[in-house]
Amino acid sequence: MLHRTILTAVATLGLVGQFAMTHPASAQALPPEVAKSKVVRVAIEAAYPPLEVRNTAGELEGFDIDLIRAMGKVLGVTIEHQDGAFEQMTPSLQSGRVDMIMSGFYDTPKRRAMFDFIDYLKAGAQFYSLAANKEVQKLEDLCGKTVSSVRGTSYPDTIKAFSDKICAGKEPITVILDTNLGQQITNLKTGRIVAGVQGLEAVPTIVQTEPGTFMILGEPISMALMGMAFNKDADSTVLRDAFAYALKQVIADGTYDQLIKKWKLDISAYKDVSINAGPQP
């Protein structure tokens, strides 16, 4: 009887040890201010369907919105979105006005000099144009033409590298910067540009929004990883690790897959939960 009791105790301790290894007590630790307020402030630009956008009632919706709220539930915190221009997200995080960025923000080597990233979606640069634009039917047709990218993104560098490669011996692609997707679409429809660049995760939604108006132009010209961005100080690293833990939980319980299906992002699913692993797009 004593022998059985000892074996039972040892087995129980083993299970406890195994649980501790897979569910470390520190995994859900939060920075002191967040632990006290139970609020995490997140910078977004709500003009990037299907990741974040405002519906007709003015409410936030999209894949990023649903995903971070699900992670917030795991951590027992409320998500407070701060909506603004894309180029303002970086200074907002650097100055501490927000705790993190989650809004179509690529994990790139250049940005890792400032921030740490949790990677959660496959991404990349994709051209799209007007379906009626007969002068642009393939990527090579962009040489000598003007396209646009949204201000503050990594796309201008990506387009230049692509232009240097595909337009060798020809006129290069000219890039202008738009404030947001809405301005880009206006410039496309008015003929100021012949094509726009957005993420491969967003272009299918743009095309579907106005059937027959837009077309996807060629294959993506780069591959990247979408990331949640955090500052590099000690408290922000604690917050980063907490959200990495929460992301693993919503992947394990099937929530991530449900949201991928809901927002038609199958091509962009990425469940490795890597840290700072994004390539140069």
Q: What is the mean pLDDT of the segment spanning 184-190?
A: 97
Q: Where are the beta strands (DSSP E) in the chain?
A: 39-44, 47-48, 52-54, 60-61, 78-83, 100-101, 116-123, 125-130, 146-150, 174-178, 195-199, 214-217, 224-230
Q: Does the structure show a pLDDT above 90 at 22?
A: no
**pLDDT interval class at 280 (50, 70, 90):** confident
Confidence of residue 15 (pLDDT cuts 50, 70, 90): very low
Mean pLDDT (the chain, rounded): 90
Give me the pLDDT at residue 181, please: 92
Q: How far is the C-alpha of 45 from the C-alpha of 158, rounded, in Å?
A: 21
User: Residue 154: which of 111, 187, 122, 115 has the closest Cα?
Assistant: 111
Q: Which residues, in sequence order, are bridge partners of residue 48? A: 52
Nearest-angstrom CA–CA distance, 196 and 126: 8
Burial grade of 158 (CB within 10 A; 0-12, 13-18, 19 or more): buried
pLDDT band at residue 26 using 50, 70 and 90 as cut-offs: very low
pLDDT grade for 14, boundaries at 50, 70 and 90: very low
pLDDT reported for residue 11: 42
**DSSP reduced 3-state for 242:** helix
pLDDT band at residue 189 using 50, 70 and 90 as cut-offs: very high
Q: What is the Cα 40 distance to its own chain's centre?
A: 17
Question: Which residues make beta-bridge pairs with 199?
Answer: 125
Q: Which residue has the higher pLDDT, 8 or 75?
A: 75
What's the pLDDT score for residue 154? 87
91/200: higher pLDDT? 91
**Which of 7-21, 127-141, 148-162, 245-259 has the lowest average pLDDT?**
7-21
Query: What is the band of 6 on the pLDDT scale with cuts at 50, 70, 90?
Result: very low
DSSP state of 171: P
Average pLDDT, stretch 169-198? 96
Domains and CATH numbers, the chain: 27-122+225-268 (3.40.190.10), 125-217 (3.40.190.10)
Give dist(CA 30, CA 10) in Å, integer.
Answer: 32
Tokens, residue 258: 């449900």
Question: pLDDT by residue (tens digit) across 234-267?
Answer: 999 999 999 999 999 999 999 999 999 999 999 8
Residue 105 has pLDDT above 80, yes or no: yes
- How does pLDDT run across 109-137, given as a tens digit for each residue? 999 999 999 999 999 999 999 999 999 99
pLDDT class for 227, splitting at 50, 70, 90? very high
- What are the CA-CA distances from residue 88 to residues 43, 85, 101, 179 (Å)? 9, 5, 11, 11
* Cβ neighbours around 46 below 10 Å, total: 22
19 has pLDDT over 50: no
